[in-house]
Amino acid sequence: MHSNLPELTDISQPELTQALQHKLNGKTKPVGSLGRLEGLAIQLGLILGTENPVLEQPQMVVFAGDHGLTQRGVSAFPSDVTWQMVENFLEGGAAVSVLARQHGLTLTVVDCGVQHDFLAGFPADVERPGLRVHKAAWGAADSSKGAAMTRAECSQAIAHGRALVQDLPGNALLLGEMGIGNTSAASLLLAKLTGLDIAQCTGAGTGLDAAAVQHKTAVLREAMVRHARQTEPLGILAAVGGLEIATMVGAVLQAAHERRVVVVDGFIATSAVLVAHAVQPLVLQRCVFAHRSGERGHEFMLQHLGVQALLDLGMRLGEGSGAALAWPLLQSACAILRDMASFASAGVSEIAAAEDFNG
C-alpha cells in the first residue's frame, strides 16, 4: 500500500450479515422476493455497520478537468465545452443539476484541472457557491506524446480528492465528472489495467461516427505504445489518466476509508474505481455501481471488477446522472430494513402468508 494513501479495513462481518439477512427474511414477504434490493440492503448495512442504515447528507461531486488528447480530434466536442458545462452545473441547468435537486443531493463541482479561471471577475474573498477549485495543473497533457500528468501532479490531484471528501458532510458520496476527452483516458486506463486491446475499450464517447472511432482508436494505440512499459497502477494513472480521474481516485479511497457509501456513475467514474481497486481492492466493498453505461468499455470494467450495476438504461451522459437516478434504490433498500413490518410485529402468520403470496 502506498504510504500517502489511506488504509482500508475489511468490513465483512459474518455476524452482522447474518443479522441483516435474518431481519430481511422476517419481513412480511416471501423470502428473497425483493431480489437484488435485499443484497443492496445488506451491503449498505455492512458499509455503515448497522442493522438500521440511514443515508445522511448525500454529496454529488462532479470532478472536472481538461485533456490534451482533444487536440488529436478524439472527441466530437471542442475542449471549451468542459468549462462551459461547469458554468451550466453552477447555474443549475445540466441534467445532473436537475436530478440532484429532484433527489435532495448536494451538488459540488470541483475544478481539478480545467483550462479556465472560474474565479476571474469575482472578488478574491468571495467563494462561488457549489464550486471548489483544486487545480493540480491547467489541464492534462496529450498522453499520445508524453505523460498526461507528472507523478507530482497526479499525487497532488489524489491528495486534493482526499482533502475534499474530508471536508464534506454525510455518509454517501456520488461520483460525477466532466471533461471533454475523458472517455479516451478511461479507455486507456481500462486497456492498461486489464490487458484488453485498446480497440475493445474504445467507443463513440460524445457521439463519434464509425470513421471517427477508428481515428480515436489509432490515437489511443499511439498512447498505449508510448506507455507500454508502465505497469504500476498510479504510474498508469499519471501516464494516461486525467486530473479529474486522479482527483476522483483520491476521493474514492478517502470515502472508502471513512466508510461512506460510494455510488459509482458510469464509464469515467468506474475507471477511477478501477485504479483505486488496483491499489486497494477493499474499496469494492464500499462501492455501489449505479448503472451500466452505453459506452462500450464499461461492461468490460464491470466484468473485471466482478460487479453488477443496478440500472441499464443505455445512458452515456456522465456528469453523475446515472448515480443520481440510482439513488432512490439505495434509499428504498434502507427504508425496507428500517420500516417494513416483520411477520411478528404485523401479526401475520408466516406459513399462511407464504401460502397466500404463492396463490
75, β-bridge pairs: none
Inter-residue contact 69 to 142 (CB < 8 Å): yes
Question: Of 88, 263, 46, 258, which is closest to residue 176 (Cα–Cα)?
Answer: 263
Cα–Cα distance for residue pair 265/288, rounded to 1 Å: 9
Q: How many CB atoms lie within 10 A of CB 250?
A: 29
Among this protein's residues, is 319 annotated catalytic? yes
- Up-side HSE of residue 145: CA atoms within 13 Å toward CB? 9
Please give the full DSSP string across 127-153, using - where no structure is assigned.
Answer: PPTTEEE--SSSSB--TTTS-SS-HHH
Grid cell digits, residue 185:
483516458
Number of residues that this document lists for the chain: 359
Cα–Cα distance for residue pair 78/328, rounded to 1 Å: 34
Inter-residue contact 143 to 239 (CB < 8 Å): yes
Sheet with 172-178, strands from edge to edge, namely 131-133, 106-113, 59-65, 172-178, 261-264, 287-289
Q: How many CB atoms lie within 10 A of CB 120?
A: 6
Pairing of strands 131-133, 106-113: parallel
Question: Of 158, 40, 48, which is closest to residue 110 (Cα–Cα)?
Answer: 158
The C-alpha torsion from 200 through 205 and 209 to 212, rounded to 10°, is: -70
Q: Pick the catalytic residue: 177, 244, 295, 319?
A: 319
Strands (E), 52-105: 59-65
Instruction: Give catalytic residues, as residue numbers.
Output: 319
